Chains A and B, each alone.
Chain A
Amino acid sequence: MNKRPNILFINTDQHAWDAISAYGNPYLRTPNIDELHRNGTSFHRSFCTDPVCAAARSSWATGLYTSETGVPFNGGYLHPEIPDLGQLLNAGGYKAFHCGKWHVPGRNVRESFRTLYYGQQDIGAGGAAYYDSASTHAVADFLTNYDSDEPFYLQIGFVDPHDVCEYLHNHEEKHIPNPLEQGIVSEDDLPPLPENFDYDERETVLHRVCRRVDDALIHAAILKGIRDWDEFHWRYLRWNYYRFIEKVDAEIGRVLALLRETSRHHNTLIIFSADHGEACGSHQMFQKFTLYEESVRVPFIVACLGEEIPVEKDRFNETHFVSGVDLFPTVCDYAGIDVPEEVQGLSIRPLAEGRDAPWRDYAYIESNYWGRAIVTDQYKYVTEYKPTFNSNSGVEDFYPPGPDVEQLGLAQLFDRQNDPGEMENLVGNPTYNEVVKICKNKLFAQEARLHRQQIVHPSPRRVISNWGGRLRTYWQMEDSH
């Protein structure tokens, strides 16, 4: 590589790791993401930092975990003093462009990047049907006109398959016949129910209060609307989800085709990932917001369509745990820009080149402010902090919790090797007490390295107060049992 490369970060939204045909999924066709895989390395053990849009994206933008960024859920606000990737790249001699979905509240994308396209109404949570095609048009215009000698960084935020959320909202207040009653598709057209459609009810309180109970904190109206779903409704959800992915795959295809056509592909590094996954019926769950595999595991591909950037091609990396915090240092590494000391992520560059590098032996994930998970070779440990008040002041202090053994609530432990569907919670089985202890130590060690900051913006404070109040009520019930 003679000069600094162009860098293209293509991201989709709510894209579960296995929803790619090159990875063996027979229920959809993604020829263009498949092409990226053939021209690069796919990371098998790739996890988001937090399974919700804004939180995960705040990690992409900063290289920090979400209890550090100020965005531990969709209503957070990025702490103003934290530098973002656009600012660093611009200062480091790159032209940094953004196109499509950003969704990092508290940071004006137009101040950190040159925006190719961000919608007449700024792109928010969803709306792929409006925005994705326009984003592709903007990128096409950019690729066919860019004539600067400076390398570019371009991040394209496609919204699909996030519109599956709108598919779900559509069921909130009306009855839609199952697809067989509609007469539109046959049973043979539909993917089967996931093997882990059932679930172990011994879940954390946070999980149940956020996603299971009738008055769930997150999207209770959808939950109510789908209570009477039959098998075919669930299978049709999966069928539709895959169509959303095929749509966004086609958009990616046009971007890649134009990149080739403009001959920029030889010196353009492409990173493809998604902010979080989609449950799509696993554990009778929908959307994200949980720490189950389908919600937190995401694609991560490092590729080059040409030959100038050394990237191992058509290869799966099944060894290294990759996290959303790694995007920032990886881009900086390729761009030749120093990474701020506080950044938690690691550069994936040596791994993409087939070299070894000192690496973490787990993935660390946060969820809904109080939720935590550690993923290791063999196990996944999920736990939660109880929403306690500050021991001195007796009021909420708005510091993201951890590491604090006294504050831990319930936990789930899954044997990833023998129970990949996460169907049996092993916590409480004495055989696994030592495993739980090891996982807990990893969790606390990781959290000790975080620079957790007090949430100061009134809007996320309100969320923490409201959610905390509801959770305390449930904890009182849990404790009384």
Chain B
Amino acid sequence: MNDSNSLHWSFDYNYGAQNPQFAQELIGTLRGYDPEAGTRSTQTGQTLTHVYNVLPNYWRGYNRGGNAETLSIGTAVIERSKRDNLWYYSVEYENTTSGENLRMQFCCSDENYRPLRDNWSVDARNSADDEYAQWACAGYFTSDSEVRLRINGAEIVAGTVDVSVELTCNWALFDVIPMLARTIQAADDGIDIAVLEDLEQLRLKGRLGFLESTLTPIRLEGYYLYGAGLLPSYWWLDAHGDIAIASTFFETLVLREKMGDRV
């Protein structure tokens, strides 16, 4: 592990009030992650889990006067298991700055693009001291390719997806990018992909491409995602085929723990 603080610009938020804590926590989290300790012989039906430490990219996560012990503002846990040629995902995302915790459940076909399948759900809980306490949403496709969301008995259309479009969930990209890595690298301009962000927001014109490689803090291959309504995000794949760092516009997810393995 390279301890240099010269992180790649796409996930270097080690400045201002975050210097040197951001680099220390990013490198420390990766150092604590030991892929060899995980179970490496997962059978069908077993669960593959990645746990990410969520670091804020800006201004100490707006944690004004808050906990200075750690920069971390939360955790993301991605669990998935395969049954009957479908991948069942359960994602928990906790954010101590917003106070909102999300639990998302969805399933995808067992294909490299991880196409999203009926049905999915989002359960949100707010720990802040306000009237909004919780919220639930269930989503499905209609026969007309509409994406519909049911919210407390009301139903809205999130958009329409042409049958030719490869639609997945942004949380499945933690598998899609490793599986499509060579395809993406071979494509000069990247590949098209549509994303249902957090299972709510349809981003139809996304593009996944290869960025470059880096050796700091470990050997990583970088990929980007951008498109209409999508700020560029950067995804860094390690030598074990896991997304070790995912830096979206506002936060950087750093792999802390892995259990199980891909089939």
Contact = CB atoms under 8 A, between A and B. Distances in A.
Interface stretch (A84-92, A112-120, A344-352, A396-404): A112-120
Contacts of A97: 131
Interface residues of A, number: 57
A127 B62 contact: yes
B97 A121 contact: yes
Contacts of B49: none
A138 B131 contact: yes
Nearest to A172: B15
Nearest to A132: B98
A308 B212 CA distance: 57
Interface string B67-93: 000000000000000000000000000
Interface stretch (B26-34, B150-158, B162-170, B253-261): B150-158
A116 B152 contact: no
Interface in B152-209: 152-158, 198, 200-201, 209
B231 A244 contact: yes
A141 B130 CA distance: 12
A261 B154 CA distance: 6
Contact of B64 (A121, A128, A182, A240): A121
A246 B229 contact: yes
Given A176-B9, A185-B226, A134 B200 contact: no
Interface stretch (A197-205, A250-258, A277-285, A445-453): A250-258
A258 B62 contact: no
B57 interface: yes
A176 B152 CA distance: 44
B126 interface: yes
Interface residues of B, number: 55
Contacts of A114: 131
A184 B224 contact: yes
Contact of B229 (A131, A143, A250): A250
B63 interface: yes
Contacts of A173: 15-16
A441 interface: no
Contacts of A384: none
A163 interface: yes
Contacts of B157: 257
A118 B229 contact: no
B232 interface: yes
Interface centre among A29, A115, A119, A244 (most CB of B within 10 A): A119
A129 interface: yes
Interface centre among B15, B16, B61, B62 (most CB of A within 10 A): B62
B9 A131 contact: no
B65 to A, nearest CB: 9
A261 B158 CA distance: 13
Contact of A119 (B16, B58, B128): B128
A173 B58 CA distance: 12
A117 B158 CA distance: 23
Interface string A150-192: 0000000000000100110110111111000011110000000
B22 to A, nearest CB: 11
B251 A115 contact: no
Interface in B194-246: 198, 200-201, 209, 211-212, 224, 226, 228-232
Given A129-B248, A138-B131, A254-B156, A183 B211 contact: yes
B229 A120 contact: no
Contacts of A142: 131-132
A479 B153 CA distance: 69
Contacts of B95: 120, 130
B96 to A, nearest CB: 6
Contact of A134 (B59, B100, B151, B226): B100
Interface string B3-22: 00000010011011000000
A153 B59 CA distance: 33
A131 B130 CA distance: 14
A140 B134 CA distance: 10
Nearest to B96: A120
Contacts of B12: 174
A210 to B, nearest CB: 21
B127 interface: yes
Interface centre among A143, A166, A167, A177 (most CB of B within 10 A): A166
Contacts of B152: 140-141, 144-145
Contact of A177 (B9, B131, B155, B229): B9
A119 B99 contact: yes
A117 B97 CA distance: 13
B94 to A, nearest CB: 11
A478 B107 CA distance: 67
Contacts of B127: 120
A118 B231 CA distance: 24
A166 B201 CA distance: 22
B155 A261 contact: yes
A166 to B, nearest CB: 5
B231 A124 contact: no
Given A116-B130, A117-B130, A141-B152, A254 B211 contact: no
Contacts of B132: 99, 116-117, 134, 137-138, 141-142
B153 A144 contact: yes
A258 B66 contact: no
A97 B126 CA distance: 17
B15 A127 contact: no
A243 to B, nearest CB: 5
Contact of A254 (B63, B64, B200, B232): B200
A130 B62 contact: yes
A454 interface: no
Contacts of A115: 130-131
A126 interface: yes
B126 A134 contact: yes
A131 B58 CA distance: 14
A20 B88 CA distance: 39
A133 B198 contact: yes
Contacts of B140: none
A136 to B, nearest CB: 8
Contacts of B209: 183-184
Given A166-B58, A261-B156, 19 more contacts: A29-B229, A116-B132, A118-B130, A120-B127, A126-B59, A127-B58, A131-B98, A133-B100, A134-B98, A141-B133, A141-B135, A143-B154, A144-B151, A166-B249, A169-B59, A184-B209, A184-B232, A185-B226, A258-B154
What are the 3 closest A-B residue pairs judged by CB atoms, nearest first?
A120-B99, A129-B250, A138-B132
25 contacts: A29-B228, A114-B131, A115-B131, A117-B128, A126-B59, A127-B98, A130-B61, A130-B95, A133-B100, A134-B126, A138-B130, A138-B131, A138-B135, A140-B152, A141-B152, A143-B154, A144-B151, A144-B153, A166-B58, A166-B250, A169-B59, A172-B16, A244-B231, A246-B228, A250-B201
